[in-house]
Amino acid sequence: MGSSRPGLVTLFCAGLLVCALLMAWGGSMAAGYCVCVIALVLEAVLLWTGRWRRTFEIVLLVNQVSGLLLILDLWLGGGLGDLKLDISGVCLLINLAVGGPLLAVAAIPLILSMRFGARLPAWFAAQAA
């Protein structure tokens, strides 16, 4: 296929799968978290295979932006009235659809590694070739 899998890929994939297991446990109490499990497993598969780099990055960025907007809306949206709840509801649904709060935490080192590191971009480039 390509070059041998870097240890960083294995570490991040294991972390994403642990997050998916935690979300699955949460899904046993609130079914909405099961959607997060699918997104987390999908991200782990994309990273493991080294394919679809653009999709992998877009999911990470959408997760971060929706989570940030949700926090800002809940914190500073007092002047919006009822619109505040609509905005926060949409941001929450988007965030849950693309991995939820655990992916938001895991996305920080992933995005930094994709932008400023050499191993993850090289992994995706090697698998695309």
- Mind spelling out the 3-state secondary structure of the chain? CCCCCCHHHHHHHHHHHHHHHHHHHHHCCCCCHHHHHHHHHHHHHHHHHCCCHHHHHHHHHHHHHHHHHHHHHHHHHHHHCCHHHHHHHHHHHHHHHCCHHHHHHHHHHHHHHHHHCCHHHHHHHHHHC
Say what the pTM is: 0.86
pLDDT of amino acid 90: 94
Per-residue pLDDT of the chain in tens (129 residues, 90 and over written 9): 455 889 999 999 999 999 999 999 987 788 778 888 999 999 999 999 998 999 999 999 999 999 999 999 989 888 888 888 899 999 999 999 999 999 999 999 999 999 998 889 999 998 887
